[in-house]
Amino acid sequence: MSDRRALLQTLPAIDRLLGSEVLTVLEQTQPHVLIRDAAQQTVDVLRQQLLDEQAPIPDLELEAVARLVAARVAEMAKPSLRRVINVTGTLLHTNLGRAPLCSDALQAIKAVAQGYSNLEYDLDAGKRGKRFTHVEELICKLTGGEAATVVNNNAGAVMLALAALSGGHSAIVSRGELIEIGGSFRIPDIMAASGVELVEVGTTNKTHLKDYANAIDDKTALILKVHTSNYRILGFTEAVSGEELAELAQQHRIPVLEDLGSGLLIDLTPFGLPREPTVREALKSGIDLVTFSGDKLLGGPQAGIIVGKRDVIDKLRKHPMARALRIDKLTLAALEATLRLYLDPQKALQQVPTLKMLSTSVAELQKSCEVLLPQIQEAVGAAADCRIVEATATVGGGALPLAELPGRAIALAPKDLSLNELTSRLRSCDPAVVGRIQDDLFLIDPRTLNTDDEAQLLQALQQVFTL
């Protein structure tokens, strides 16, 4: 005890540490504030260690402590937002940033971000233009809508539409569609925040047209239809179709808004995926306004796309919330480039990463695994057994909840390392590697692995097993 107390006196002072050779050299490349903070934190940790009877006694030599500080500086200097190699097999992992962008989108971002752009400037007329014009025509062409606008995300799109169309009155929603997505998007809360009174109709599993019809009164401003994108109610269910709702709403001269969630632009059933309504189908049924996300199955940047009848879109654009939710130029550049690919659906399937991953066949995945297996085995050496297993990927991001994408993955069974330790070490690599554990194996799903990232994945695996 007294030994440890005495050692406290020998902890190097911050100024002495900063004057050490290691840190003097480091000053040339790293900001002084980072080094100073790291030195303070390191000394604090060492002090705690000395006070803890159970902890080993640390090396308190000046240069040894300076090296600890340098290691801490290296950690602090890493960007907080950084790259992750996703081998989870979940395509639209919200925690991992949802959709990776296509290369056209990346180029468009670079071109627009590097200098000035015609974001709100009409180059033909030489006067002020409007930012949404860059995508409006494309969205209309791809969906059959009359007019379109875009905001920050789909949650914003729904809020804006509700606020602009309700005028403080009420909106009717089926009890079967009062969804929660990702914990913070809850229809009742979004409606309250938009100043709309929620009128619930029907039951959890069945809502009929007459339920809507009976609820309409002079306070009804609109009908909201919500796509139950992250769950299904099975068994005895009944929901009212878009056509029926549109007809009812027309009789009462109120609009119908549909929150489609993912907003498919092309039918994905040929790839074995469950049937989902496309934006075009929703609009064709007579729905006035459809909203959807840019970064779900569309495979673009985070955005909320709103498309529908011109008079309704005009109302939204004039609402003050439209300005608060406006989309930035980088997003707009990426969105336009992504949408352009959809003009040729074949091209979109090949070049939009989300669509490409969705449509990868089991045979292709088997082949990727066969190529990767010997490389991974070589990287991990005798530290783990590796083999190819059957694996099911999921879409994620609250889209197509029941869709199972059959495939293959490489399963790792580490010999002397717990799976928890393995995943923790992989997460601390740069880029970090995030995979999934299944049946006591660590799975590497090639479906979500970008070919360009393979070398770094192998490097990370080699590193974590030789630590």
N residues, the chain: 467
User: Which residue minimizes CB distance to ligand PLP?
Assistant: 261
**Is residue 293 part of the contact set for ligand PLP (CB under 6 A)?**
yes
Q: What is the DSSP string of 265-323?
A: SS--GGGTPPP--BHHHHHHTT-SEEEEESSSTT-SSS-EEEEE-HHHHHHHHHSHHHH
Of 155, 273, 327, 376, the one binding ligand PLP (CB under 6 A) is 155
Of 154, 170, 360, 394, the one binding ligand PLP (CB under 6 A) is 154
Of 145, 398, 407, 435, the one binding ligand PLP (CB under 6 A) is 398
**Is residue 276 part of the contact set for ligand PLP (CB under 6 A)?**
no
Report how far residue 402's alpha carbon sits from residue 170's, in angstroms, rounded to the nearest whole number. 33
Report how far residue 98's alpha carbon sits from residue 395's, in angstroms, rounded to the nearest whole number. 10
Of 104, 259, 276, 453, the one binding ligand PLP (CB under 6 A) is 259
Of 185, 212, 342, 442, the one binding ligand PLP (CB under 6 A) is 185
**Choice between 48 and 237, CB closer to ligand PLP:** 237
**Choice between 258 and 453, CB closer to ligand PLP:** 258
**Is residue 134 part of the contact set for ligand PLP (CB under 6 A)?**
no
Tell me how far, at minimum, the Cβ of 20 lies from ligand PLP, in Å.
49
Tell me how far, at minimum, the Cβ of 243 lies from ligand PLP, in Å.
20
**Choice between 296 and 436, CB closer to ligand PLP:** 296
**Choice between 42 and 230, CB closer to ligand PLP:** 230
CB 150 within 8 A of CB 304: yes
**198: which strand partners?**
171
**Is residue 174 part of the contact set for ligand PLP (CB under 6 A)?**
no
**Is residue 261 part of the contact set for ligand PLP (CB under 6 A)?**
yes
Query: In angstroms, how far apart are the furthest CA atoms of the chain?
Result: 88
* Residue 202, amino acid: G
The residue to which tokens 């990702």 are assigned: 182
Find, among 228, 226, 397, the residue nearest to 296 by Cα: 397
Secondary structure element (H or E) that encloses residue 392, with its range: strand 384-393
**Is residue 191 part of the contact set for ligand PLP (CB under 6 A)?**
no
Task: Tokens for 303, please give them.
Answer: 């955005």
- Return residues touching ligand PLP (CB under 6 A): 153-155, 181, 185, 226-227, 229, 259, 261, 293, 304, 398
